[in-house]
Structure 1
Amino acid sequence: MNTHRLKTEVINSLFILSGALLLALGLVWFFIPNGLLTGGSAGLSLLLHYISSYSVGFIMLAINLPLLIIGYKYLGKMFTLRTILTIVLISFLVDFGIEVLELKAFVLDRVLASLFGGVFVGLGLGLVIKGNSSAGGSTIVARIISSRTEIKASSVIFFIDLIIIGSALFLFDDRVSVLWSVISIYVTTKIIDFILTGRLDKKVVYLVTNKIELFKRLIKEELGPHGTVLQGQGLENDEDKRMILIVVEVSKLQVLRKMIKNNDQDAFLIISEANEMLGRDD
Structure 2
Amino acid sequence: MRKRITEFLLINLGLLLVGIGIALFKIPNHFATGGVSGLAIISSSFFVRIDVGPMMMIINILLLGIGYFFLGSDFGSKTVYSSFALSGIVWIIQKVLPLSQPLTNDMLLELIYSIIFPAVGSAIVFNCNASTGGTDIVAKILSKYTNLNIGKTLLLTDLLIALGAGAVFGVKIGLYSVLGLILKAFTIDSVIEGLNVSKQMVIISARDKDIRDYIVNRLNRGATIYKAEGAFTHSQENVISTVVSRRQAIKLRSFIRSIDSSAFITISNTSEIIGKGFRNIDS
TM-score, L = length of structure 2: 0.63
Shift of 1:66: 2.5
> For 1:160 and 1:21, how far apart are their aligned partners in 2?
24
CA deviation map 1:11-38 (0-9, x unaligned):
3312220111001100121111222222
Aligned ranges 1:26-175 → 2 under 5 Å: 26-53=21-48, 54-72=50-68, 74=71, 76=73, 79-102=75-98, 105-173=102-170, 175=171
Shift of 1:153: 0.8
> For 1:188 and 1:92, how far apart are their aligned partners in 2?
22
Q: Which amino acid aligns with 2:149?
A: K
Q: CA RMSD in A?
A: 3.2
CA 8–108 in structure 1, closer or farther in 2 if over 3 Å, else same: farther
> For 1:119 and 1:125, how far apart are their aligned partners in 2?
10
Q: Does 1:12 align with 2:14?
A: no
What SS does the corresponding residue of 2:76 show, helix, strand or coil?
A: helix
Identical positions, percent: 29
> For 2:127 and 2:21, how far apart are their aligned partners in 1?
18
Contact 2:163 2:178 in 1 (8 A): no
Q: Which amino acid aligns with 2:55?
A: I
CA deviation map 1:202-255 (0-9, x unaligned):
xxxxxxxxxxxxxx87xxxxxxx99xxxxxxxxxxxxxxxxxxxxxxxxxxxxx
What SS does the corresponding residue of 1:142 show, helix, strand or coil?
A: helix
Shift of 1:75: 7.3
Aligned residue pairs total 208
Shift of 1:115: 0.8
Shift of 1:277: 5.5
> For 2:169 and 2:2, how far apart are their aligned partners in 1?
47
> For 1:49 and 1:153, how far apart are their aligned partners in 2?
28
Q: Which residue number corresponds to residue 255 of structure 2? A: none
Contact 1:55 1:95 in 2 (8 A): yes
Contact 1:15 1:131 in 2 (8 A): yes
Q: Identify unmatched segments of 5+ residues in structure 2.
A: 198-230, 233-238, 241-268, 275-283
Q: Which residue number corresponds to residue 198 of structure 1? A: 194
Contact 1:75 1:143 in 2 (8 A): no
Q: Does 1:178 align with 2:178?
A: no
1:188 to 184, 188, 195: 184
CA 156–172 in structure 1, closer or farther in 2 if over 3 Å, else same: same
What SS does the corresponding residue of 1:134 show, helix, strand or coil?
A: coil
CA deviation map 1:150-188 (0-9, x unaligned):
321111111111211222222233x22221222222222
CA 129–10 in structure 1, closer or farther in 2 if over 3 Å, else same: same
Q: Which amino acid aligns with 2:158?
A: D
Q: Which residue number corresponds to residue 252 of structure 2? A: none
Shift of 1:116: 1.3
Contact 2:35 2:134 in 1 (8 A): yes
TM-score, L = length of structure 1: 0.63
> For 2:53 and 2:177, how far apart are their aligned partners in 1?
20
